[in-house]
Structure 1
């Protein structure tokens, strides 16, 4: 997959420029019946409504937009810059740090709350984050437990392990070495093995939980404290009790919530249906292309370049 990804980005450099507007027009015609839904997503990612001026840090593809590091981020953005003049300027940040800049800036993630409109969400680092699965094991056939495997370095992840390690309803394990709590380190567990459990614990890291996308495409239910960050996946649009199970930050209501959904399988199936419906809008590659193009189009229009 990575080989195809980098090969495709290499070929984009040699495509005739006239092909890009043709492909855009083809996509617009193909998805003309979904124009309103597409615009809702575009407006979610780019919340700006009034014209703005970019600051002196803005770059353009014609001048200093070069591959320095974070190659996946670089190519994820560049493949859609071809649809616009090389002279168009933009501000961007590549990495896991979350901040709100004074200038409208393209980001992978932003806070779900507060005045976050200057962080314009874009689909960055997508090979790592946008991975969906086909889960053939139905919810009712899975273990009546939750599972977690992942690195434990941040305070909120340590708090989870403190509260839930050795809980009878949780198989929790730390993937990195733990000198303070060596018993927390557990053997590697593949995605296929994790799918044997009815509930998947998704914990935010530096920004969003990296396992959230594939977990929500499975037949297991996501369990997480309140989400504080969002990406192209629109985590801020997810509703507790509708798309996932939300627990308190100290995990004090975890057992109560899990037992409730174990005893009410029809409500569990409702959550799964809603989660799969949310995931479905990201599975059409051509539709994703159009939403990416339209998001940049709005960004350049708001910054008075279109």
Structure 2
């Protein structure tokens, strides 16, 4: 089989796999959405009791996603659990996956989409700014079909092409700045498949599998977080990016430069030097890759994901005065001494 035929075959397989995952995602969630809600609500107490068995690591992530500490009243635009807006269906299904375990009359503020600012009232959302007081932004794992795809990578770092790759839309200042900085560099295969982009920046679409053949993959924020960050960090390629400014369920604010990824200057003037350094010191690159992959592992655990999500919502409903807390569960949420901060290379260190 020729190289071109091989590439075409792998791309076809990747597209079929994504289509199959999309069909399964919608079918599973459609079935859940028509199931009697009482079936889920009867499970809540037992699920919360098992969730707190995760101990200090679960508490640490709970505290990070839901930083609220005082009582509050839902805003005038709050919706009930049973009346979540349908728009943006992936957000809807991901939200309903967890909120259906609670009473349908409970009220909460919800913001779907790429949220870049902290809301005036405590709200459930996908993304928030890392800097400043972001406690009103209560994070759940929304739109995870797009953001939490972390396929296995079997190609070692040493066997990959010693070049940099990036593909994406040029709709944010940082991405345009990156393309201007790297345009014409022989070691950098960067571009956008968008037909609306300037011709000099257009490059053919590359699948995840095709991009992972490069040793170095750049991650750049778009409307909020970078969509490709999770699959880069779970691969055997080295992630290069400026320090993140937004975060999601992936806790991007916990990522440490030089530990989980290679930091780049805001103007990308150090890209060539960084690549040259890791070409001379591949063992340093492989250490960062191993640490990044270890960081990703807890986010593959669906049971853990559900446990923490239910605690995030439970804390929200108690502080909003709508749920009378169970003594044991609330003691876990509020009274237990906080765990000592994890070392940067270990976070998040959660086991179910």
- After TM superposition, the score normalised by the length of structure 1 is 0.93
Please list every run of 5 or more consecutive structure 1 residues that lacks an aligned counterpart in the other structure. none
2:262 matches 1:241: no
Aligned mates of 1:9, 1:86 — CA distance in 2: 18
1:183 is matched with which residue: 195, 200, 211? 200
Task: Tell me which residue corresponds to 2:292.
Answer: 275
Match status 1:22 vs 2:43: yes
Moved more, 151-160 or 132-141: 151-160
Alpha-carbon contact 1:166-1:172 (below 8 Å) kept: no
Number of the residue aligned with 2:79: 59
Bigger proportion of residues as helix: 2
Offset at 1:90? 0.5
Of 231-240 and 266-275, the range deviating more from structure 2: 266-275
CA distance, structure 1, for counterparts of residue 53 and residue 217 of structure 2: 35
Q: How many angstroms apart in 2 are the aligned matches of 1:204 and 1:146?
A: 17
Secondary structure at the counterpart of residue 164 of structure 2: strand
- Which stretches of structure 1, 4 residues or longer, exceed 3 Å deviation after superposition? 18-21, 26-29
Q: After TM superposition, give the deviation of residue 75 of structure 1 in Å.
A: 1.2
Query: Structure 2: which 5+ residue stretches go unaligned?
Result: 1-20, 324-352
Query: Are 1:5 and 2:5 counterparts?
Result: no
Structure 1 residue 264 corresponds to structure 2 residue 264:
no
Matches within 5 A, 1:131-150: 131-150=149-168
Structure-2 separation of matches of 1:171 and 1:18? 51
| Alignment correspondent of 1:113 | 131
Tell me how far apart the structure 1 counterparts of residues 52 and 40 of structure 2 sit (CA, whole Å). 20
Match of 1:50 among 70, 91, 98: 70
Secondary structure in structure 2 of the residue aligned to 1:282: helix
Alignment CA distance shift 1:20-1:286 (3 Å): farther
Structure 1 pair 33–243 and aligned structure 2 pair: CA distance change class (3 A): same
